[in-house]
Amino acid sequence: MVRPLAVMMRLSNHPLRLPRLRTYVPGPSDPKIFWFNSERADIVQAVVRRILERHEADESIELIVNDAAYHEVRRLEPRSDEGAHRRLEYWRGIIRRIGRMSSESKQETLREITERMVQDVAGNFDPRVYRFSARVVPSLLTGVMKPSRLVGSLLGSSKLNDLVESEGPLDKLRKLQNKGTLVYVPTHSSNLDSLAIAWVLYREGLAPAVYGAGKNLFTNPIISFFMHNLGAYRVDRRIKAQLYKDVLKTYSSILIERGYHSLFFPGGTRSRSGAVERHLKLGLAGTGVEAFARNHARGTNRPIYFVPATINYALVLEAETLIEDYLKESGRARYIIDDDEFSRLDRWIAFFNRLQNLDTACVIRFGEPMDPFCNLVNDEGESLTPDGRAIDPVTYVSRRGSVVVDHARDAAYTRDLGRAIAEQYVHSTVIMPTQLLAHVIFRRLVRATPGLDLFSRLRYRGEIAIPVDELLPELGRTRDALVALEAAGRVHVNAGLRRAKPDRFFERALAAWATYHRRPMARRMGGALILEDPNLVFFYQNRLRDFVLELAGDHPAEQRAAREIVAMGEGGSR
574 residues of the chain, pLDDT tens digit each: 334 434 443 444 444 455 555 666 777 788 899 999 999 999 999 999 999 999 999 999 999 999 999 999 999 999 988 888 999 999 999 999 999 999 999 999 999 999 999 999 998 888 888 887 776 666 554 443 333 343 344 334 355 677 789 999 999 999 999 999 999 999 999 988 888 888 899 889 999 999 888 887 777 676 777 777 777 888 998 999 999 999 999 999 999 999 999 999 998 888 999 999 988 988 888 899 999 999 999 999 999 999 999 999 998 988 988 998 898 864 444 444 544 555 555 555 555 555 555 567 889 999 999 999 999 999 999 999 999 999 999 999 999 889 999 999 999 999 999 999 999 999 999 999 999 999 999 999 999 998 898 999 999 999 999 999 999 999 999 999 999 999 999 999 999 899 999 999 999 899 888 867 777 899 999 899 999 999 999 999 999 999 999 999 888 888 999 999 998 875 544 5
Residue 47 and residue 187 in one domain: no
| pLDDT value of position 522 | 93
Q: What is the pLDDT of residue 213?
A: 82
Inside any domain, residue 14? no
pLDDT at 347: 53
Measured CA to CA, the distance from residue 211 to residue 475 in angstroms comes to 39
- Evaluate whether residue 509 is within a structural domain: yes
Q: How far is Cα 313 from Cα 195, in angstroms, rounded to an integer?
A: 13
pLDDT at 356: 55
- 534 touches 453 (CB < 8 A): no
Residue 438 and residue 423 share a domain: no
Residue at 130 is within a domain: no
200 and 276 housed in the same domain = yes
Q: Which of 387, 403, 428 is the last residue of a domain?
A: 428
pLDDT for position 229: 76
In a domain, 372, yes or no: yes
Residue 425 corresponds to which amino acid? Answer: Y
What local confidence, expressed as pLDDT, does residue 335 receive?
43
457 with 413, same domain? no
For residue 357, is it within any domain?
no
- Assess whether 368 and 227 both reside in one domain: yes
What is the C-alpha to C-alpha distance for residues 515 and 530, in angstroms, rounded to an integer?
16
> What does R_g of the chain's alpha carbons equal in angstroms?
25
Residues 173 and 315 in one domain: yes
Which of 428, 448, 464 corresponds to the end of one domain?
A: 428
Asked, for residue 159, whether it belongs to a domain, the answer is no
Residue 7 confidence (pLDDT) = 40
Tell me what pLDDT residue 80 has: 87
Structural domains in the chain (count): 3
Of 181, 127, 128, give the one whose Cα is nearest residue 377: 181
Q: Which of 374, 399, 428 is the last residue of a domain?
A: 428
Helices marked H in 230-367: 242-257, 286-297, 319-327, 345-355
Tell whether 2 is covered by a domain. Answer: no
Q: What is the pLDDT of residue 352?
A: 54
Residue 194 located in a structural domain: yes
Shared domain for 172 and 238, answered yes or no, is yes
- 394 and 456 part of one domain: no
Taking the mean position of all CA atoms in its chain, how far away is CA 394? 29
* CA of residue 491 relative to chain centroid, distance: 20
Supply the pLDDT for residue 224. Answer: 74
Other CB atoms closer than 10 Å to residue 427's CB: what's the count?
19
Same domain, 45 and 82: yes
Q: Is 255 in contact with 43 (CB distance < 8 Å)?
A: yes
Query: In a 10 Å sphere around its CB, with 0-12 CB exposed, 13-18 middle and 19+ buried, how is residue 175 labelled?
Result: middle
Do 419 and 441 lie in one domain? The reply is: no
Q: Quick one: 397 and 498 in the same domain? A: no
- Check whether residue 529 and residue 564 sit in a common domain: yes
| Domain hosting residue 217, numbered range | 167-340+362-428
